[in-house]
Amino acid sequence: MFRNRLMHMRYKRLQCDVDHPPRPRMVVTLLSTLLLSMAGGIVGCGGAGADSAATSGRAVVQLDPEKPSMGECHLTVKLFDAEDNPIDNAKLTVEGNMNHAGMKPSFAAIKETDQPGVYSGTIDFTMGGDWFLLVTAITDEGTLVEQTIDVPGVSVE
């Protein structure tokens, strides 16, 4: 009886090995599927409108105080086109992010001033540490300005 049970266990083990496909084949199949879908997404993101607006200008950001601390900080953004002419009537966003992942971004409340190409507003630095600002502006004519501004050492005071 013991011998029959042992034989039955061996048979079951062999049967299990035969019934399941080898794992390396499944891993290769899953990785191939993942890579193909990622490649499709990358190609899909570069559609016809992706190159229609190339960065063609610059932004100058001034913070007040120059060395900001945690809390609200006044900022002035000056926008210029490729020929250094001020850019008026742009749709401007300023997004503040910390240099490490996992923190909620902070968005500036920005308004155009009476001066040509000058925008003013406030941003809330919610923590002390190293931040960066993503400045994005676009005009009705398609002029695009994208710039990253480092804001190191926001203090907690």
Amino acid at position 48, single letter = A
Residue-wise pLDDT for 18-63, tens only, equals: 555 555 655 555 555 555 555 444 443 333 333 444 578 899 999 9
* Mean pLDDT, residues 103-132 taken together: 95
Instruction: Give the Cα separation of 111 and 143 in Å (integer).
Output: 18
| Residue 104: DSSP 8-state | P
CB 144 within 8 A of CB 55: yes
Amino acid at position 11, single letter = Y
pTM for the complete prediction?
A: 0.64
CB 133 within 8 A of CB 149: yes
